[in-house]
Amino acid sequence: MPSSKKFLIVHFGELWLRGNNRNQYIRVLKNNITSQLRGESFTLGGMHDRLIITPGNKGDIDSIKKKISKVFGISAYEVAYSTKPDMKHIVKMSMDLLKESGVKKVKVNSHRSYKGFRFNSIDIIKRVCKEADKIGIEPTLEGFEKQLYIRVTRDEAFIFMDRSRGAGGLPVGTSGKCIVLMSGGIDSPVAAWYAMKRGLIPIYLHIHGFSSDKEAKSSKIPRMIKTLSEYYASTMTYYVPSHIFQMSAMKTGRYELVMIKAFMMMAAERIAKKEGAGAIITGESLGQVASQTVQNIAAEQSMLKIPVLRPLIGLDKEEITRLAEHVGTYEDSIKPYKDVCSINARSPVTNSSIQTFKKIAKEMGLAKVVERSLKKASVEGTIG
């Protein structure tokens, strides 16, 4: 094993496109990393184009890697060793890593950001390739098993072989807050994941059919939210009962599905105003169910002033399922659960008239139903 200490080098990726806001985005990213690594032994530093995570004496590099892989705003990361930025130490560390790797063919990459040394990147590659050949490892540009990366700065050289892709996207919090309509199905957790990937802090709203919030809080919903918290540690969830709506919607007929979706969105808009959120996120996919036709979507949001974002609008169920498996919410999502939006309405309307919708909403007093329901809401968690 190489004698030098291991580091994690974290790359920003898309943050390079942020212009004057770049430093702010990096500060948010550093805060998110620190929050995500709570309980780990580490220090977090930085260079002009990357962050450096140094495990402490009791630090677990594998645990840190696993947590870092779910932090949005990171394009790539690698476990690297550092050594002195001179040819002798660079070559020795490179040979130690190559011997440990067990590879027979390797591609050598080098980048020297500090130009004050007498040697350049080509010199490093030639020397390392020459020494690799001496120990029976073939340097090549084709058919290689792994790549050896050498990054030389003014103060030290970083050497590594394994680069991992990060979660990508933007640091959570750089795009503000959103209200996620959280159901017990496959779609909405994936939509929440996409919202976080584009920098939004999710505040979850779950409207349930239980007789008490206590039952909702002991259901699978908190487990799904806990899984999503692996991507952003702070969570807040509003639990709102649906019984007031259900009693008021008994005469809405074919419009019941549309009305409950409108009820959810209006509740989300009021919570958004309270929490300072700028958008509502839903897991809707166009045409997937009766309430998700263009006409019904238009009716459901016709009484809102806040934008509704639908990250999954063009995805089919198979694509969403694969994403749910990747996110980690799939197994809980498929467990039995009676969602209030899975109403078995007889011949539900698929081409709502906004005029008819608003007439029914006025007759049932939808706005007051929302207000009365929110008075019975309970909140779990806080946003840090």
Nearest to 70 by CA among 159, 242, 196, 211: 196
Q: What is the DSSP string of 45-57?
A: EEETTEEEEEE-T
Over residues 128-169, the pLDDT tens digits come to 999 999 999 999 999 999 999 999 988 889 999 988 999 999
What is residue 57's predicted lDDT score, i.e. its pLDDT?
A: 82
Q: Determine the residue type at 11.
A: H
| Residue 279 in tokens | 């958008």
pLDDT band at 31 (very low <50, low <70, confident <90, very high): very high
Over residues 296-318, the pLDDT tens digits come to 999 999 999 999 999 999 999 99
pLDDT band at 274 (very low <50, low <70, confident <90, very high): very high
Over residues 178-232, the pLDDT tens digits come to 999 999 999 999 999 999 999 999 999 999 999 888 899 999 999 999 999 999 9
Check whether 2 has a pLDDT greater than 70: no
The answer to whether 53 and 7 have CB atoms below 8 angstroms apart is yes
Tell me phi and psi for residue 37, to 5 degrees. Answer: -95, 15
- Distance CA(274)–CA(89), nearest Å, equals 58
Query: Which residues partner with 177 through β-bridges?
Result: 201
Nearest to 104 by CA among 133, 125, 80: 133
Q: Where in the chain is the domain with CATH 3.30.2130.30?
A: 6-165
What is residue 23's predicted lDDT score, i.e. its pLDDT?
A: 85
* Measured CA distances, 152 to 45, 53, 160, 186, 262 (Å): 17, 17, 12, 46, 57
Q: What is the pTM of this model?
A: 0.90
Q: Determine the residue type at 360.
A: I
* CATH architecture of the domain formed by 6-165: 2-Layer Sandwich (3.30)
Could you tell me which CATH number the domain at 177-381 has? 3.40.50.620
* Mean pLDDT score, 235-257: 91
Q: Where in the chain is the domain with CATH 3.40.50.620?
A: 177-381
